[in-house]
Amino acid sequence: AFEMDPNTALARMRSWIKHYGKTISFRVFTTTFIATANPDTIKKILKDSNKGLIVRQLNSLNLLPKSGMFLTDGDDWKMNRRTVDPIMTEPNVRGMVPVMSQMANRL
C-alpha cells in the first residue's frame, strides 16, 4: 500500500514534479491534493484563495505549520491578507527572493 511518510513526502512530491511536470495531483483516500511549482499558478491561488479553496486542506498531511497567511481561510485569511498586503509590493517581494531561494535550497 502507498504511504506518504511526512519525512519523505516533500522529496517524493519533488520527484513527481520533476517527472510529470510543474503541477501534479494525487489522491489520498477521497481527497485530491494538488502540488505545484508553477509561480503563475501559485500567484493565482494566493490571489483567489478565499473564493472556494479550502486552504486548510493543504495541510492534511501535516507537512506545513498549523496556521499563518497560507493556511487560513475566510475572515482569518482576509485579516492576514490585509495585514501583509502593504509590504507585499513587487520590489519588497523581489528583495526576498535570494533569502527564500537560500532557505528552499536548505530543504
The strand pairing partners of 31, in sequence order, are: 28
Strand partners for 79: none
Domain annotation covers residue 49: yes
Residue 4 in any domain: the answer is no
More confidently predicted of 106 and 61: 106
Model confidence at 44: pLDDT above 50: yes
- Of the candidates 54, 75, 88, 86, which has an alpha carbon nearest to the alpha carbon of residue 100? 88
Whether residue 5 has pLDDT greater than 80 = no
Residue 63 lies in a domain: yes
CA distances (Å), origin 78, targets 1, 31, 83:
40, 25, 9
2 inside domain: no
pTM over 0.75: no
In a domain, 47, yes or no: yes
Q: Which of 48, 49, 52 is nearest to 72 (CA)?
A: 49
Band (pLDDT 50/70/90 cuts) for residue 19 is: very high
60: which DSSP letter? T
- Residue of 101 and 57 predicted with greater confidence: 101
Q: What's the total number of domains in the chain?
A: 1
For 49, the domain range is 9-106
Q: What values do phi and psi take at 37, rounded to 5? A: -120, 20
